[in-house]
Amino acid sequence: MPDPLDPNIVSRLSATSVYDHRTRQARNIGIYPYNTSGHGAENLRVRFQWTAPLLISPHDPKTLYHAGNIVYKTTDRGNTWKAVSPDLTRNDPSK
């Protein structure tokens, strides 16, 4: 989705990255600083679906939300993320 303040900046869910069309460079803005592929969900503090929501706030174009079992918010294009919800799942290992 394009940044409403700068259409050359695009946030991509598929790679959880921000792409700058002017420089043709992308950078990771994921919640985790490492790739979680291959790890069981039971070992992850934050769990995301393949189609986890990533959206720009309609009230503040500098605010981006990313939702897994916890909703996170960034106001600096993914440099830092803050949890804005508790665990929204039951997180019941027996299920």
In tens digits, the chain (95 residues) has pLDDT values of 778 888 888 776 555 788 888 998 888 887 766 666 777 767 777 777 777 888 889 999 889 999 888 999 999 988 899 999 998 887 677 76
CB 17 within 8 A of CB 9: no
pTM score, two decimals?
Answer: 0.75
- What integer pLDDT is reported at residue 73 of this predicted model? 95
Residues 6+ apart with CB under 8 A from 34: none
- What integer pLDDT is reported at residue 7 of this predicted model? 81
- What integer pLDDT is reported at residue 86 of this predicted model? 92
At 42, is the secondary structure helix, strand, or coil? helix
